[in-house]
Amino acid sequence: MDFNNQEYDVIIVGARVAGSSLAILLSKMGKRVLLIDRDRFPSDTLSTHHIGHVKYLRELGVLADVEALGLRRLTRWRTYIGDCILEGPHVHYALVPRRIHLDQILLDHALRYKTLHFAVQMSVVQLIEDNGVVVGVIMQDRNGKQIEARARIVVGADGKYSKIAKWVEAETYNEVPAVRSVYYAYFKGVTPLAEPATEIFLQDDRMGFIFPMQENLDCLVLEIHQDEFDTFRKNLVEMFETAFRRFYGMEKRMRNAVLEGSIRGTRGVNNYLRKPYGNGWALTGDAAYCKDPSTGQGINDAFLQSFLLAEALEKVFAGGDWEETMSEYHRKRDEAVLKSYQATIDYARIPQVSPNTEALLKVLIGIPSIAAQWAIELPGLLRNYKKMEPYLQRAEEMAQLMFGYDPSIK
């Protein structure tokens, strides 16, 4: 493919969830898109897995392909505070695919469009600018050959360590250093619940998650304090499995569990928002906004941003003013994610519940008259207590998503 002689509307750097989903949406509009990625495909990446907003897969036209992987539909949500269990049904089901599969499905769907070109195993090494406006990129293949490509708009969908964001000096704000370290792995043979559920464990000042995938395969996630990361790494398999077996009920359920592949992890994920546009460029996915993985919203956030960005770019291509349209995109993005962003950070910082407090909670939650009165009065009390307001906002968002809660009903 001779990329030099092509006229593109948009160049997207990064072909995973954020980049491929945006490419699909723009290609549906008939726009000429160049999608670039330094990796070969199919390939894996360090990531969250949980997709709670299946509507995005449906709107992108890939839901049937994702479900054809044989994934279990997660229809329930169960939280353990020590050995105290809270559980309820989802309003909408969730899916948990491996990224190596999800990314390839999205990319394959994008490549069906004739107006889309894909530069695979190409690294972007420089932006091309004209009077301070980004107008293209210089790519380099594995042999060191450099190739220019130009477009009206260049989008960085190149992850947390985005070169595009760095080169354009995108403003970063609301930064919070990493709160916890994360390890995750795939296991076969974990005894399942009667109904597939997202499981969350809060115990021993650690957080654990079980995400059922295909039958007899689960993704197990462990969030620990950062000062434990290196200790775990010295004997990772044994320490990971030992930590998980300590969670309520897991000693028995992991009796026949077998690790599939290796355990992956990161010392921590920095939390930040970046201004997602400038002269001739835009950002989406982790390049634009990233937060702790404890609430499992990374994939949903990538889809959300790409849909908002596609909507904004459609207006620009229809003659809309760039600054006015993109500032509105920025506003909508922040309006959609800021509450969840702060609540996720607070969630990751959750303090250990003492055995004494846990004992009282078990009884209080189990008394219908107290639980009912809490549900009626607690939102009003928390709104007047500013420190707790983010927790309430996050709780209301989760209650809406999972259980159909309507905050307007008193």
Q: Which pLDDT score, from 0 to 100, does residue 205 have?
A: 84
| Mean pLDDT calculated for residue range 33-46 | 95
> Cβ(1)–Cβ(37) under 8 Å?
no
Buried b (16+ CB within 10 A) or exposed e, 342-361: bbbbbbbeeeebeeeebeee
Q: Which pLDDT score, from 0 to 100, does residue 293 have?
A: 87
Q: Which pLDDT score, from 0 to 100, does residue 46 have?
A: 85
CA 18 → CA 22, 106, 138, 238, 283, distances in Å?
A: 6, 10, 21, 35, 10
Q: Choose the weakest-confidence range: 178-182, 284-288, 373-377, 395-399.
A: 373-377
Confidence grade of residue 400 (pLDDT, cut at 50, 70, 90): low
| Mean pLDDT calculated for residue range 367-373 | 63
Domains along the chain with CATH numbers: 7-49+98-177+270-346 (3.50.50.60), 181-266 (3.30.9.100), 357-403 (no CATH)
Q: How far apart (Å, rounded) are the C-alpha atoms in residues 207 and 107?
A: 33
Among residues 37, 39, 40, the alpha carbon closest in space to that of 14 is found at: 37
Q: How far apart (Å, rounded) are the C-alpha atoms in residues 37 and 88?
A: 41
Among residues 303, 310, 43, the alpha carbon closest in space to that of 155 is found at: 310
Q: Which pLDDT score, from 0 to 100, does residue 53 have?
A: 82
Q: Taking all residues of the chain, what is their mean pLDDT, rounded to a whole number?
A: 89
Q: Which pLDDT score, from 0 to 100, does residue 156 have?
A: 99
| Mean pLDDT calculated for residue range 10-31 | 98
Confidence grade of residue 365 (pLDDT, cut at 50, 70, 90): low
Give me the sign of the Cα torsion angle 78, 80, 85, 86: negative
Beta bridge partners of 202: 81, 207
Q: Which pLDDT tens digit goes with each residue over 60-83?
A: 999 999 999 999 999 998 988 888
Q: Which pLDDT score, from 0 to 100, does residue 347 have?
A: 76
To the question of pTM greater than 0.75 for the whole model, the response is: yes
Query: Does the pLDDT of residue 254 top 70, yes or no?
Result: yes
Among residues 378, 300, 404, the alpha carbon closest in space to that of 344 is found at: 300
Q: Which pLDDT score, from 0 to 100, does residue 270 have?
A: 94
The more confident residue out of 103 and 381 is: 103
Q: How far apart (Å, rounded) are the C-alpha atoms in residues 361 and 365?
A: 6
387 phi and psi, to 5 degrees? -60, -30
Buried b (16+ CB within 10 A) or exposed e, 367-397: eeeeeeeeeeeeeeebeeeeeebbbbbbbbb
Confidence grade of residue 405 (pLDDT, cut at 50, 70, 90): low
The more confident residue out of 2 and 182 is: 182
| Mean pLDDT calculated for residue range 166-176 | 97
Q: Which pLDDT score, from 0 to 100, does residue 160 have?
A: 94
**% of the chain beyond a pLDDT of 70:** 86
Q: Which pLDDT tens digit goes with each residue over 100-148?
A: 999 999 999 999 999 999 999 999 999 999 999 999 999 999 999 999 9
Q: Choose the weakest-confidence range: 58-62, 86-90, 199-203.
A: 86-90
Q: Which pLDDT tens digit goes with each residue over 203-222?
A: 888 999 999 999 999 999 99
Q: How far apart (Å, rounded) are the C-alpha atoms in residues 197 and 325?
A: 40
| Mean pLDDT calculated for residue range 228-234 | 95
